[in-house]
Amino acid sequence: MNFRLMSLACCMLLASCSGWETKKITTEEILHQEWNTIDIKEVDTYPSFDHCDSLSEKIALKRCFEDFVTSTLYTELSNLTIIVQESVLDTVWVDFVVNETGNFCLDSIHLTPTVRKEIPELSLWIHDATQALPKSHPAIKRDIPVKTRFKVPVILKVN
pLDDT at position 35, please?
59
Ranges of H-type helices in 79-136: 113-118, 122-131
The pLDDT score that the predictor gives to residue 99 is 94
Contact 105, 153 (CB under 8 A): no
d(CA 102, CA 137): 5
Please determine, for residue 6, whether its predicted confidence score (pLDDT) is greater than 60: yes
pLDDT at position 137 over 70: yes
Residue of 108, 96, 101 whose CA lies nearest to 135: 101
Condensed to tens digits (0 to 9), the pLDDT of residues 57-74 reads: 888 988 999 999 999 999
pLDDT of res. 158:
82
The answer on pLDDT for 89 being more than 80 is yes
- Note the pLDDT of residue 146: 93
Express each pLDDT in 7-65 by its tens digit. 767 666 666 555 556 677 777 776 666 656 665 567 888 899 998 888 888 889 889 99
- Could you tell me the residue ranges of all domains in the chain? 2-37, 50-158
Q: What is the pLDDT of residues 90-118, one digit of tens each?
A: 999 999 999 999 999 999 999 999 899 98
Q: Kindly state the percentage of the chain with pLDDT values over 90.
A: 41
Q: How confident is the model at residue 81 (pLDDT cuts 50, 70, 90)?
A: confident
Q: Is 65 left (phi over 0), alpha (psi -120 to 50) or beta?
A: alpha
Q: CA 50 to CA 48: how far, in whole Å?
A: 7
